[in-house]
Amino acid sequence: MEVENTFRQWKKQCLNKVDLSKKGSVDEDIANIVSMLNDSEKYFTTSSCSGRIIVIDGVSDCLDVQKQNCSWLFVTHQKCQKMDLVSSLERSCGDVVFKFEPFILHVQCQQLEDAQLLHSVAIHSGFRNSGITIGKKGKIIMVWAVRSTHCLEVPLSRKGQVLVSADYIEFLAEVANQKMVENLRRIERFFECLQSAMHHEGLHCRSTRVMEEKSVYRRRRKRTQESRGESCEGSRDTSLSDEDNGLDNGMDLFSL
């Protein structure tokens, strides 16, 4: 009970905080995932990004760029166009880098088994670079993303001088857009797997309660029959329906 109360307190504090991200809101493509997790008693999200294509002006001596807070020259959570990238380069003064970053999500979990369930869902959905961390205060954080070959990071300029051709910029846009399509496909698959896992988890909890209630009922009925001198030998127990007997079918999809 103490663990649950502490977790609820952490969740309330986190969800009541002001969103300090550049966008200031949850990305549309993962809003359903974030809502589902935050609506659950076992989870809450601490940070998220659906995936993005960005052009960043790194270390720069250009005061105008710094004053206008334009270190991020371009960012989108959807596909990009070649002209978006060209236009952003025209405003650069320093070392510009083009990046594609995939979906990333941090979720705090109530119990370790809750984190293990999410980890199983993430791996099953193609998010191989997923993991569980446990803090000193017992905070269990589930993190997943897709890095390695699914990320993209390419330098475009040095001290304001563009180093690549227009054709290469167009090629980068095509590659990043392909990665974005794959990223969104994995997000959709993750959402479907999460729905299935949480649904099965709910069924498991309900079926356990039903079985316990029916077990109590059978014991009480047996005692009543014995007190009346009735014999139970050879009688058929009809307290479990076919539907009850089949509740565990297909429950091992996300077994750990």
- In this prediction, residue 159 has a pLDDT band, given cuts at 50, 70 and 90, of confident
| pLDDT beyond 80 at 121 | yes
DSSP one-letter code for 16: T
Q: What is the pLDDT of residues 79-91, one digit of tens each?
A: 999 999 999 998 8
Which stretches of the chain are DSSP H helices? Answer: 2-15, 31-39, 63-67, 82-90, 112-124, 166-227, 242-245
User: Does the pLDDT at position 249 exceed 50?
Assistant: no
The answer on pLDDT for 48 being more than 70 is: yes
Of 137, 136, 140, nearest in space to 111 by CA: 140
Show the tokens assigned to 177.
């857009």
43-49 and 157-158 strand pairing: unpaired
The whole-number pLDDT of residue 219 equals 54
Rounded CA separation 228/109 (Å):
51
Q: What is the percent of the chain with per-residue pLDDT over 90, rounded to a whole number?
A: 41
Calculate helix-pair angle for 166-227, 82-90, nearest 10 degrees.
Answer: 120
Q: Are 48 and 26 in contact (CB under 8 A)?
A: yes
Shortest CA distance to 254 belongs to which of 123, 128, 61, 130?
A: 123
pTM greater than 0.75: no
Residue 145 three-state SS: strand
Least confident range from 161-175, 214-228, 229-243: namely 229-243
Domain ranges of the chain: 2-193
CA distances (Å), 108 to each of 50, 128, 147, 168, in order? 18, 19, 21, 41
pLDDT at 222: 58
CA 44/CA 143 separation, integer angstroms? 12
Furthest CA-CA distance within the chain: 97
Rounded mean pLDDT, 158-183: 94
- CATH number for domain 2-193, candidates 1.10.3720.10, 3.10.20.600, 3.30.1960.10, 3.40.50.720: 3.30.1960.10
